[in-house]
Amino acid sequence: MPNNQDPLILAIDTSCDDTSAAVTQGWVVRSNVVASQAQLHKKYGGVFPTVAKLAHAQNITATVSAALQQARINPEQLSAVAVTIGPGLAPALEVGIRFAEQFAQQHTKPLTAINHLEGHLLSVLARPNSRTTAQAQPNLDTVFPALGLIISGGHSQFVLIKQLGTYQILGTTLDDAAGECLDKIGRMVNLGYPAGATIEILAQQGNPEAIEFPLPLTHRKDFDLSFSGLKTFARNTLATTSPKKLQDAQFIKDFCASAQAGVFRHLLYKFERALAAHPEIHSVWLGGGVAANMQLRKKLRSTIRQTNKKIPLLTPYSKKLCADNAAMIGVAMNANTQNTVYTSDQLQRQPRLKFG
């Protein structure tokens, strides 16, 4: 339940292909509306920026109205507006920023710029609004330093969270992101876009050991990641598979299970090393679209257990909070980190905004 003393935030995220608006109060999500464009981009097999911009422009007003309505809030009750300024697709970011500026000006509310990646990272701190699903807030006196994993369609990073607002990037992908890799592999076997969730379902009925994917970057002691070799391996495997086998439903399930296992094995290999190198870590935080994957969560927990560490894996309370959404932007604002309050003529989109 929200504490009525906590400030009410209207948060907006249009960084990629989802138009999202949310109302948060403290850590509590009072509403979180997402207008997905997945259907529009399906035929391109990825996100087409100008199509995304147009769809954001069409959806943003109704999305914000729905978020306010679901939270039973009128604009005058808000304390502030928070908007994602990057990283993301420039034309898509622009729509959310301009809308937020206009809204803030019209209702004379302060406007805060938020980094989308900080949103994903802090999404584990979000709490549900209802009494029935009440969950205890992680104890912020005992969880730091934490190891954060941002595993999404655009990013794959290991982050040392020393405190809220104090982040150090330990490792990052050198090429594709983990979700992007799953999407590209899924496209090769016509699973549509995005493919991560479909691969997870098919993988449940497949053999993860049917095809042995390579383990990248074992020669390096750092915590960087690389997924493009896995994508190439998948393509080569399919190229040398007979047309008859490619039509075989069980082969596709085995292929999905093996590809997913390959992507996760690489993540887990580097994760285990990051844990070993940082014995001071008190908790692991998992955010981003791929964090919705139950197999990944299970494997992370078992890796933590194997290292004899009794530390929790924190995950967002709902899958909706894993994918792109605005509630995580409100939560990041509540963390009251190094966000800068901008006046409206200073707010610039930052498609390549860095983090940490």
Q: Is residue 176 close enough to count as binding ligand KG4 by CB under 6 A?
A: no
Does 123 contact ligand KG4 by CB under 6 A?
Answer: no
Strand 166-172 to 156-163 pairing = antiparallel
Return all residues near 78 (Cβ < 8 A) that are at least 6 apart.
Answer: 8, 9, 10, 23, 107, 109
Cβ proximity to ligand KG4: between 109 and 231 the closer is: 231
| Distance in Å, CB of 7 to Zn ion, minimum | 24
Residues 316 to 345 in contact with ligand KG4, rule: CB under 6 A: 323-324
- Please state, in angstroms and rounded to a whole number, the distance separating the CA atoms of residues 172 and 174: 6
Q: Kindly state the tokens that stand for 96.
A: 């959310």
Q: Binding of ligand KG4 at residue 197 (CB under 6 A)?
A: yes
293 binds ligand KG4 (CB under 6 A): yes
* Count of residues that interact with ligand KG4, criterion CB under 6 A: 20
Considering the complex, state which of residue 180 and residue 324 has its C-beta at the smaller distance from Zn ion: 324
Residues in the chain, how many? 356
Provide, rounded to whole angstroms, the least separation between the CB of residue 294 and ligand KG4: 8
**Residue 194 sits in the site that holds ligand KG4 (CB under 6 A):** yes
Give dist(CA 10, CA 1) in Å, integer. Answer: 18
Contact 196, 289 (CB under 8 A): yes
Please name every residue paired with 294 in a beta bridge, in sequence order, or none if there are none. none
b/e burial code for range 182-211 (CB count within 10 A of at least 16 → b): bbbbbbbbebebbbbbbbbebbeebebeeb
Find the binder of ligand KG4 among 179, 216, 316, 330 (CB under 6 A).
179
**What mask, x for binding Zn ion by CB under 5 A, covers residues 148 to 177?**
----x-------------------------
Counting Cα atoms < 13 Å in the Cβ hemisphere of 266 gives 32
Nearer to Zn ion, 262 or 288 (CB): 288
Among 95, 161, 195, 284, binds ligand KG4 (CB under 6 A): 195
- Pick out residues in 317-336 that bind Zn ion (CB under 5 A): 324
Q: Could you tell me if 311 and 278 are in contact, meaning their C-beta atoms sit under 8 angstroms apart?
A: no
Residue type, 302: S
**For Zn ion, the closer CB: 15 or 303:** 15
The least CB distance from residue 58 to ligand KG4, in Å, is 20
Binding partner of 200, given ligand KG4, Zn ion, none, CB within 5-8 angstroms per partner class: ligand KG4
Contact 240, 193 (CB under 8 A): no
Phi, psi of 111 (to 5 degrees): -120, 130
The residues of the shown chain that bind Zn ion, judged by CB under 5 A, are: 152, 324
Binding site for ligand KG4 (CB under 6 A): 16, 152-154, 179-180, 182-183, 194-197, 200, 288-290, 292-293, 323-324
